[in-house]
Homo-oligomer: A and B are copies of this chain.
C-alpha cells in the first residue's frame, strides 16, 4: 500500500504530536516544514515525553525541509496540515502554503479560532478545508516535546458549497483513518462548528483577560475577574454563536470556568505575552466580533477586550521591528 503524502506546516506541540500520530499509523508519509528547530531535528530528531506514547528519542518525519518551496519535491500532497499559530495579522498562511496546494489537496486546519476558513476559501475556492479542534496539551521547547494530556481531535469540514458534502466528508474520514491509533481519540464531528464555538467560550474570554491582566485563571477568579468580567464576556460569545446558528448550552460557562481546577492555569495567550510572542487575537477575538457586527449583535465587553489587545499586539510589532512610529507624536490631519 502506498503511503499518503502529508505536508505538515507548524511543528509546535500540537503539530509534532499530529506528525507522530500520522507516522505511527504507518499509512502516511509526513513531510514537515521546520524553521527554528530545523538543524537540531534534522540532526537528532525530536525528543518526546508523551502521556500516550511514553519517552521517545529521535523522532523524525519521513522528510524534513526548511521551506514550503523545498517540500514540493516530496509532493503532491493529499493533505496539507496546518498547525501553526494562527496570526493572520502577522503571517498569511494562504501565501505560505500556496506553492504546494493542488486541485486535489485537502487542507486541514488544526488551529484555534472562528472564521478561519474564510481566507482559505477566498484563495482556494475549490479545495476541501477540514476543521480540526484539538484538545491536546503539548508544548515544544526547542525540539523537546512535552505532551501531557491525551490527543483528542475532533474533525469535520468547513462546508464548501462548490463541492459535494459527500466528497468533503469522505476526505475527512480518510484523514481520520490516517491519524487514528489506539492512543489517540480522533473522531468525526458532525457538528464541528459547534465544537469550535464551544472552545471559543474559553479562548475568547479567559485567554485575552488573563493576557491583559497578567494573571492565571485561578488568580483571575480570586481577584474578582471571573465574576466581574468573564461571565459577561462568555454570555456575549454565546450570543454571537447563536447569531451564527450555533446554540451553546448556558452551563458551558461554568464548565469552562472550572475546567482547569485545581491548577493555577496560564492560558496560551498569557504565556505569549510573557514570552513577548504574538497572540492569536484576530482569529480568537477579531473574527467573532466581525460576525457579531454582520449579525447586529452588541458585545461591549468583547469589543473593548479586542481593542485593548490590538494595542498590545501593535506594541509588540513595534518592538519586533514590524512597524515603526514617527519620532514625534503626529498631530491629526
Residue ranges of A at the interface with B (Cβ–Cβ < 8 Å): 209, 212-215, 217-225, 228-229, 258, 260-265, 300-301, 304-305, 307-308, 310-312, 314-315, 318, 325, 328-332
- Docked-complex contact A315 and B225, CB < 8 angstroms: no
Number of copies: 2
- Smallest CB gap from A217: residue in B: B329
Expressed in whole angstroms, the Cα–Cα distance for A215 and B314 within the complex equals: 10
Residues of B within 8 A of A312 (CB): 213-214
- Docked-complex contact A308 and B262, CB < 8 angstroms: no
- Docked-complex contact A304 and B307, CB < 8 angstroms: no
Residues of B within 8 A of A215 (CB): 311, 314-315
> Which residue of B224, B258, B318 is within 8 Å of A311 (Cβ)?
B224
Minimum Cβ distance to chain B for residue A240 (Å): 16
Residues of B within 8 A of A300 (CB): 300-301, 304
Q: List 18 A-B contacts (CB under 8 A).
A: A209-B308, A213-B311, A215-B311, A220-B311, A221-B329, A223-B310, A223-B311, A223-B314, A224-B311, A228-B307, A229-B307, A229-B311, A261-B329, A262-B329, A263-B329, A264-B329, A300-B304, A304-B304
